[in-house]
A and B are shown apart, each in its own frame.
Chain A
Amino acid sequence: MNLFNTILVLAAAFLAVFLETVFTAPHYLLGAQVDLLPALMIYAALNTNVVSVSILAVAGGLWFDALSANPLGVTILPLLAVGFPICVQREFILRELPFAQIFLGALASALVPAFTILILLSGGDQPLLGWGSLWQWLVMTAGGAAATPVLFALFDWCNHALGYQLQTESSFRPDREIHRDKKAK
């Protein structure tokens, strides 16, 4: 179940990065492109193990940086910084609740770009920043918050449709069945 989940999350991350580069409508309608990797990281942190979270951080970060002008590897640590603590503390999180999913999605979508910018600035890069970046940050946060419960529902549906389901055992045992008929009476 976990391996299937991990493969599913990685495939979704690959597709999400590709779609972010091809479908630029959010950028021209809202002024910012919504990043789905933080929302995927929340799902992975709450539903898979720490190895899957680490693989997603490395693979997702590398894929994102390969298609952007970011120096390679810059996005790995921000993704891990968000996913790892949530994965470790997930027993205390009411992960089934949509409110918790929205809150965590917003938090992750706000923190990942902020950490990435910090790493870029500390590495001497000059990203395009200004007052408009605050609006972009809000759009990314809101977009990530909205996408997280949708991703949870989508993955649950995929798991239900494609994954193995637990076989529930009935308490009925034929050898313990009491036969009643007219003769016995």
Chain B
Amino acid sequence: MFKRKNYFALGAVVLVTLAIFSLPPRAASRLKLAVGSLFLPLFGLANTAQQLPVTAADAILSRRELLKQLENLRRENQQLKFLQLQTAATVRENDQLRAAIGWQKQMPWKLKLANVVMRDPANWWRTAQIDLGSRNGVTVNLPILSPEGFLVGRVSSVDQFKSQIILIGDPNCRVSARVENATHDIGVLGAGGPLDDSLVGLSYLSSGANLKSGQNVATSGEGGIFPPGIPIGQIVDAQQVEFGLYTEARVKLNANLGALEEVWVLFP
């Protein structure tokens, strides 16, 4: 029943697996990217298929509707220009005040829009892939924001044409976060639950932290990956853990991680 051919097949698969496991991390990462790139034509095809209805809808749009949309865009553009002028004045004033009290000058964010092309097929990770890669200047650990400007995660690995991002709530995505209250309590945003991706845990807050439901949480800037002030979410509830050694809170995320189609990559 157990023929020699079976032994050979079993041995070959075990050998291949052991060989892959014993690869150095860099070689394993390259092999992973190479295997993943086999799917690129399918992703391209899926993207084209998604664009088709939009293109078809654009093609049959009436001239009257187009002119109406153009007029709306012109009006919106004028309002945005006015807002930009106001913002530039505020930035100048902010820079002067920072210089007056000797604070470091704040650099404006450089953003690049990316499409989310796939989600992790495994239920025990919270990652996704975007269609910007190293040829677009993406590097590991760049922060990722939702279209509304809320924190989503960070870049974990980069290919030439695409990058993998780790979303908040994955055990491998730790973020130093500050609660916007009187005491400015700082904690570490860690793993969420496997089912609900809108709630994550904020731990290692001081035992005397003054937390209330609805208080805003933003990045603290500690750790060097995420710049300070990126909004994350709101406190839901808090409790003392480890015999009152520190406080742990649950944070409801502002970004809807389940419906991400486009994200901003934040460049330094």
Interface residues of A (CB under 8 A from B): 14, 17-18, 20-22, 24, 27-28, 31-33, 35, 50-51, 53-54, 57-58, 62-73, 76-77, 80, 84, 88, 113, 116-117, 120, 126-130, 132-133, 135-136, 140
Contacts and interface: CB of A to CB of B under 8 A. Distances in A.
B20 A28 contact: no
Nearest to B258: A28
Interface of B: 1-2, 5-6, 9-10, 12-14, 16-17, 20-21, 23, 28, 31-33, 35-36, 38-39, 42-43, 46, 118-127, 129, 156, 164, 166, 169-172, 191-196, 258
Contact of A69 (B21, B33, B125): B125
Given A84-B10, A132-B194, A136-B195, A73 B119 contact: no
A66 B36 contact: yes
B42 to A, nearest CB: 5
Nearest to B192: A128
B194 A136 contact: yes
B118 A21 contact: yes
Contacts of A88: 1-2, 6
Chain A interface secondary structure, helix, strand, loop or mixed?
Answer: helix
Given A18-B39, A58-B16, A68 B193 contact: no
10 contacts: A21-B119, A24-B119, A31-B195, A63-B38, A67-B118, A69-B166, A117-B124, A128-B126, A128-B191, A135-B195
A17 B121 CA distance: 7
A53 B258 CA distance: 35
A129 B164 contact: no
A116 B124 CA distance: 10
Contact of A68 (B5, B33, B120): B120
A130 B5 contact: no
Contact of A54 (B9, B28, B120): B9
Contacts of B196: 132
Contacts of B21: 71, 73
B195 A132 contact: yes
B120 A113 contact: no
A135 B124 CA distance: 12
A69 B124 CA distance: 9
A20 B13 contact: no
Contacts of A64: 121-122
Given A18-B39, A22-B46, A67-B36, A73 B17 contact: yes
Given A72-B23, A128-B192, A130-B195, 9 more contacts: A27-B119, A63-B35, A70-B125, A71-B21, A76-B17, A117-B124, A127-B171, A128-B169, A132-B196
Contact of A133 (B124, B129, B171, B258): B124
Nearest to A89: B1
A157 B127 CA distance: 36
Given A20-B121, A64-B121, A133-B123, A69 B17 contact: no
